[in-house]
């Protein structure tokens, strides 16, 4: 059954929440009195649709239904999750909660995107304070998985656990902040870096671009996959964290930073920062900057997925939840769908369509899925046997671009003994894009020689081959490169 989320406030953060829920299969109801709210949210959705599906290696759920409403009363009707993303004014937020609680389901989660207020402050005038907590995300909400989940001492543990389950279900990482604190956890780090950056600009030491370069070409890359303490543990060498602290701890007493002091944001300093920022990025529109950001994030996140590390491990786990159990379909009278996914942004080339190497990756992934389905899984391979590809032939029939949902249907042409002969057909809906024909041999991993599989693989593989023997031989099977 499709669940419903209500988004109260459709700015950058509210729009990101709407995109995250919508693309994860939820119906989304939006309230925002801004006359441009519909346009703004649709622009955020355009960015999300081209980027979020591409960080999954399986298809996302069917997109939910998006609706815009004239009142909060309408928007919260039937909502399981209500996300408040209105401006950071405490009295405004409290008035919003009073209206929401008059009309929402008492069991619904009411979550605030606030970056600074504590939940106990938000609950001040609430009818049901236990219903309200903080769920503070990071921009863009539809790509970055972190959300700081902050309850108060009035929040029941069951309400917190339910909130965690919902956030995990839409591919996010709920960081449970167990004690209320101003600005939660992550924003306190950002505030420290921001303060120091303001001093460096005010004192004429660095420009906005030089500060950004120091982050994105240096420690920002380390932080993206290991965070702070794991990075510093490595800096301690073989002696580890203790040695790092002993070596660099005394530096904390040196006058390196001005973290306990804040420069006054005079008109001159504001003009200086704004002018440098214009010189750095003023040639780009906000939409161009957002797309560059999303392209870069998708590339980094997909790289981390390949290593199953940091945010990549989180995304792989979410893929596994979306995919469910991997098993042979009950109906083997037709080709098996082995791939159902979206072409990610980093699979395209200078011609604007999918790179030919990625066709091989897609078909290779399809072969791997078939191997898994017939029993050649991680446990089987660990026991000493696997399949090696001996020959491959790919035909490129039509173009495919980033964001296209592709489906690979696999037919087993031979699957007895040590030989596995498969034919893959790639589609976008009914349009055939490419075919891949692969011949594999079953191999003993110790001797590296071909051998027959044992019954764990031989029996299901023969069952599929027998069922597919009645299918028409696919066009192009057995073909070589030909010039017309």
Tell me the β-bridge partners of 111: 83, 133
The single residue listed with the structure tokens 């009073």 is: 98
Whether 96 has a binding-site annotation, put simply, is no
Structure tokens at 281: 């990025």
185 is in an annotated binding site: no
Residue with tokens 């009142």: 71
Residue 193 annotated as binding? no
Q: Is 13 annotated to bind ligand? A: yes
The CA distance from 239 to 123, in Å, is 47
Cα 4 vs. chain centroid, distance in angstroms? Answer: 21
List phi, psi (to 5°) of 302.
Answer: -70, -35
**220 annotated to bind ligand:** no
Tell me the CA distances in angstroms from 317 to 170, 305, 373, one per residue in order: 12, 10, 19
Do 338 and 366 meet the contact criterion of CB atoms below 8 Å apart? yes
Residue 64 to residue 59: CA distance in whole angstroms: 14
Around Cβ 274, how many Cβ atoms within 10 Å? 12
Q: Residue 312: helix, strand or coil by DSSP?
A: helix
Per-residue exposure over 380-399, b if at least 16 CB sit within 10 Å of its own CB, e if not:
beeeebbbeeeeebbbeeee
Cis amide bond preceding 126, omega within 30? no
**Whole-number Å distance between alpha carbons of 23 and 423:** 32
CA 448/CA 443 separation, integer angstroms: 6
Has 310 been labeled as part of a binding site?
no
Cβ atoms of residues 394 and 377 within 8 Å: no
Spatial distance between the Cα atoms of 17 and 40, rounded to a whole number of angstroms: 13
Residue positions in the annotated binding site for NAD(+)? Answer: 9-14
**Which residues belong to the annotated binding site?**
9-14
């Amino acid at each position: 059954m499709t669940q419903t989320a209500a988004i109260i406030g459709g700015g950058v953060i509210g729009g990101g929440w709407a995109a995250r829920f919508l693309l994860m299969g939820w119906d989304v109801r939006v309230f925002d009195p801004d006359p441009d709210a519909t346009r703004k949210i649709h622009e955020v959705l355009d960015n999300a649709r081209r980027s979020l599906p591409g960080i999954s290696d399986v298809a996302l759920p069917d997109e939910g239904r998006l609706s815009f409403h004239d009142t909060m009363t309408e928007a919260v009707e039937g909502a399981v999750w209500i996300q408040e993303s209105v401006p950071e004014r405490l009295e405004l937020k409290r008035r919003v909660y009073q209206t929401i609680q008059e009309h929402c389901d008492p069991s619904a989660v009411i979550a605030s995107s606030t970056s600074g207020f504590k939940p106990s402050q938000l609950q001040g005038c609430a009818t049901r304070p236990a219903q309200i907590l903080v769920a503070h995300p990071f921009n863009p909400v539809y790509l970055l998985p972190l959300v700081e989940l902050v309850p108060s001492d009035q929040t029941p543990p069951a309400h917190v656990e339910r909130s965690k389950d919902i956030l995990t279900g839409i591919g996010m990482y709920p960081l449970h902040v167990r004690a209320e604190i101003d600005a939660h956890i992550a924003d306190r780090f950002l505030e420290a870096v921001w303060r120091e950056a303001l001093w460096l600009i005010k004192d004429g030491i660095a420009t906005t671009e030089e500060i950004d370069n120091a982050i994105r070409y240096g420690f920002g890359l380390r932080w993206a996959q290991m965070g702070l303490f794991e990075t510093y543990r490595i800096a301690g060498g073989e002696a580890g964290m203790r040695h790092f602290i002993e070596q660099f701890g005394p530096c904390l007493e040196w006058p390196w930073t001005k973290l306990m002091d804040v420069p006054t944001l005079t008109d001159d300093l504001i003009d200086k920062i704004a002018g440098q920022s214009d010189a750095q990025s003023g040639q780009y529109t906000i939409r161009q900057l957002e797309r560059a950001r999303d392209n870069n994030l998708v590339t980094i996140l997909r790289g981390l997925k390949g290593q199953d590390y940091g945010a990549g491990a989180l995304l792989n786990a979410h893929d596994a939840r979306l995919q469910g159990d991997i098993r042979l379909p009950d109906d083997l009278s037709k080709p098996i769908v082995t791939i159902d996914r979206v072409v990610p942004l980093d699979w395209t080339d200078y011609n604007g369509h999918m790179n030919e190497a990625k066709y091989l990756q897609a078909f290779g992934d399809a072969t791997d899925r078939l191997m898994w389905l017939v029993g050649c899984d991680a446990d089987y391979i660990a026991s000493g046997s696997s399949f090696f590809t001996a020959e491959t032939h790919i035909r490129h029939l039509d173009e495919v671009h980033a964001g296209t949902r592709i489906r690979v249907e696999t037919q087993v042409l031979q699957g007895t003994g040590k030989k596995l002969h498969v034919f893959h057909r790639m589609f976008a809906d009914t349009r055939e894009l490419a075919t891949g024909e692969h011949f594999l041999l079953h191999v003993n991993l110790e001797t590296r020689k071909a051998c027959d599989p044992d019954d764990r693989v031989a029996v299901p593989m023969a069952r599929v081959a027998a069922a597919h023997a009645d299918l028409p031989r696919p066009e192009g099977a057995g073909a070589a490169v030909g010039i017309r």
